[in-house]
Amino acid sequence: MKKTYLLALACFLAMPFTFVGGGFIAVLINPEWAIHTANYSRNFHLLGALKMAFLWGGFGLTGILWFLLCYCLIRAKRRAIGWLAFAFLGPLGLPVLVGLSDAEPSDGDAWQRFVQRMGLASRIAFEIVFFMAVWTVSYEAMVLLRNLLILGQSMTTGMPVAQIVAQQNASSGMWAFTEGNEVMFLVVLIYLFRPPAFNLLARLRGAIWP
C-alpha cells in the first residue's frame, strides 16, 4: 500500500479524537470557576474564550484533517489537484475520490486490476449499488448501536426502555447530530478500507489457492 494512502487512513483515524476531544475538553471548562478569583469578570471571559477555542479548534482541526485525507487520496492515485474540490462535499464526495482510477497502480494492487476490467457502464452501476448499500448498512448499524446502548442503559440503571427513549426524543436534535456523524463515519470507514480489504482478501485467496 502506498505511503500517501496510509497517511490518508491515519488522518481519518485521528479525526474522531480531534472532533470529540475538542468538544470534551470544552465541556469540562466551566467559566464559573472564575467566581472565586479576584477579577471575576475578566477571568470569566477568559475561561469562556478558552472553552470556545477548544470547541472550535477541535472542529477546525478535524476539517484540516479531512482535506489532508482527500489530498493524500488524490496524491496516492497520481491525479490532478482539481479533484480536491470534491472534499467540500464531505462523505458524499469521498466515493468519487476513492473511486478514481490509479494512474500508477502497484503490481500487487488487485483492486485496481478488478475495477479496470470493468466497462464504464458496469463500473457506474457497481458504484451506485455499492453507494446505496454502504449508506443502508451504515444506517442500520447506527440503529443497532442505538438500541444496544438503550438496552445497556436500561439494564444498568433499571430505567424502562420507553423512558430512556422519551428522554432521547426530548433532545432529538442532539441525538440526530450524533447519530448522523456515526453514519457518516461508517460510510467513510467502509470506502477507505475497501481497496486494502479487497487486496488482503486477494492475497489470502492466492495463498490458499495458488
- Does 169 or 72 have the greater pLDDT score? 72
What distances in angstroms separate CA 143 from CA 17, 18, 146, 176, one per listed residue?
23, 24, 5, 11
Give the dihedral of Cα atoms 76, 79, 85, 87; nearest 10 deg.
-20
Tell me how far apart the alpha carbons of residues 138 and 143 are, in angstroms, rounded to a whole number. Answer: 9
| DSSP assignment string, 4-57 | HHHHHHHHHHHHHHHHHHHHHHHHH--GGGGGGSSSHHHHHHHHHHHHHHHHHH
> In residues, how long is the chain?
210
C-alpha cell at position 132: 446505496
| DSSP assignment string, 118-136 | S-HHHHHHHHHHHHHHHHH
The residues, any chain, with a CB within 8 Å of residue 43's CB and separated by 6 or more, are: 33, 34, 37
Lowest mean pLDDT of 16-25, 44-53, 64-73, 151-160, name the range: 151-160
Q: What is the pLDDT of residue 55?
A: 87
161 in Cβ contact with 154 (< 8 Å): yes
Q: What is the pLDDT of residue 60?
A: 93
pTM score: 0.82
Tell me how far apart the alpha carbons of residues 118 and 123 are, in angstroms, rounded to a whole number. Answer: 6
72: enclosing H helix or E strand: helix 40-76
Q: What is the pLDDT of residue 210?
A: 58
The residues, any chain, with a CB within 8 Å of residue 79's CB and separated by 6 or more, are: 100, 103
- φ, ψ for residue 108 (rounded to 5)? -95, 15
Lowest mean pLDDT of 54-58, 123-127, 139-143, 145-149, name the range: 145-149
- φ, ψ for residue 95 (rounded to 5)? -55, -30
Q: Mean pLDDT throughout 113-117? A: 86
Q: What is the pLDDT of residues 69-99, one digit of tens each?
A: 999 999 988 899 999 999 999 889 999 999 8
State what percent of residues in the chain have pLDDT above 90: 32
